[in-house]
């Protein structure tokens, strides 16, 4: 019993990640395909010959445990009860994804930024734009980003955050097939989706959390995990696809504006 309890405590302390590696690869692939020739050349120069946007797309998660100071850069806690973010309330001391993306963009834009620092800024930026489009990384319901919400998905126990990170995505078509679909969708909506700021995009993601992630979530019955129905999955899947496509589209827009 003691060992089981210890494992449970360990799992509860693990950090939350947005999307899984597949989701971040998709965002990077969609974005890279939409880069201007100038931006593409600069991305390749900054990353060097052995790395690409796709291969480093999950780097920020890989280094997170060893760099705890970066943990808050992956999300912004906008209360579910509120419709829009307030930086003073939701990003204390500018320690959140919206504020950090602004810092990273400035570093990346400045040719005087030392090469190692510029490369790191690019790797973080690629990841964080993807992160903020996972609705649970732009919302707060006092449940540790959904990690405290126990659910059952196709007879398997998990939590709401893991469900949206990869549980739902893992049941979708293979990555290459999704890439074709999402890339086409991103191109079709590029003009509309690219409007706005980092804060606007966080608000957009937060709105999805309010209406879909929590708004359609089955109510809890006592202490029992919430069953994720086929109806919930059917409504969640299109949203996940849209969020990934938006992230790729907007990442391309940021890099095209920044690396001219």
Residue 3 included in any domain: no
Taken in order 47, 50, 55, 61, the sign of the CA dihedral is negative
Residue 95 included in any domain: yes
Q: Residue 85 is part of which domain span?
A: 15-258
- The phi and psi torsions of 19 (rounded to 5 degrees) equal 55, 175
242-252 residue pLDDT tens: 999 999 999 99
**CA distances for 89 relative to 161, 168, 198, 210, angstroms:** 23, 31, 16, 18
Asked whether 237 and 170 are in contact (CB, 8 A), the reply is no
Q: What is the pLDDT, as a whole number, of residue 214?
A: 97
How confident is the prediction for the chain on average, in pLDDT?
Answer: 93
**CA distances for 26 relative to 16, 22, 66, angstroms:** 19, 6, 25
Q: Where are the beta strands (DSSP E) in 76-202?
A: 150-153, 156-159
Residue 9 included in any domain: no
Q: What is the pLDDT, as a whole number, of residue 9?
A: 34
CATH of the domain at 93: 1.10.575.10
Strand order in the sheet with 226-227: 156-159, 150-153, 226-227
Asked whether 17 and 145 are in contact (CB, 8 A), the reply is no
Residue 5 included in any domain: no
Q: What is the pLDDT, as a whole number, of residue 197?
A: 97
pTM of the model: 0.92
Residue 51 included in any domain: yes
Residues 6+ apart with CB under 8 A from 255: 31, 35, 39, 43, 125
Residue 4 included in any domain: no
DSSP string, 224-246: BPEE--HHHHHHHHHHHHHHHHH
- If you average pLDDT over residues 32-44, what whole number do you get? 98
Domain count, the chain: 1
- What are the structure tokens assigned to 160, written together? 């709401």
């Amino acid at each position: 019993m003691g060992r089981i309890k210890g494992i449970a405590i360990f799992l509860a302390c693990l950090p939350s990640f947005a999307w899984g590696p597949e989701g971040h690869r998709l965002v990077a692939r969609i974005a890279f395909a939409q880069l201007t020739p100038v931006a593409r050349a600069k991305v390749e120069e900054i990353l060097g010959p052995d790395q690409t946007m796709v291969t480093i797309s999950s780097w920020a998660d890989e280094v997170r445990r060893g760099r705890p100071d970066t943990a808050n850069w992956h999300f912004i806690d906008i209360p579910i009860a509120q419709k829009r973010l307030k930086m003073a309330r939701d990003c204390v001391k500018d320690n959140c994804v919206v504020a950090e993306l602004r810092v990273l963009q400035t570093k990346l834009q400045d040719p005087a930024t030392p090469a190692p620092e510029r490369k790191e800024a690019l790797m973080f930026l690629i990841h964080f734009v993807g992160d903020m489009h996972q609705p649970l990384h732009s919302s707060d319901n006092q449940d540790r980003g959904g990690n405290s919400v126990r659910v059952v998905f196709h007879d398997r126990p998990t939590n709401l955050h893991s469900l949206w990170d990869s549980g739902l995505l893992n049941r979708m078509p293979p990555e290459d097939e999704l890439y074709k679909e999402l890339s086409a969708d991103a191109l079709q909506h590029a003009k509309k989706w690219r409007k706005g700021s980092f804060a606007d995009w966080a608000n957009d993601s937060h709105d999805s959390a309010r209406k879909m992630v929590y708004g359609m979530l089955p109510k809890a019955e006592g202490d029992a995990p919430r069953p994720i129905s086929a109806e919930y999955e059917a409504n969640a899947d299109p949203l996940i696809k849209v969020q990934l496509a938006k992230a790729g589209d907007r990442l391309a827009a940021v890099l095209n504006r920044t690396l001219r």
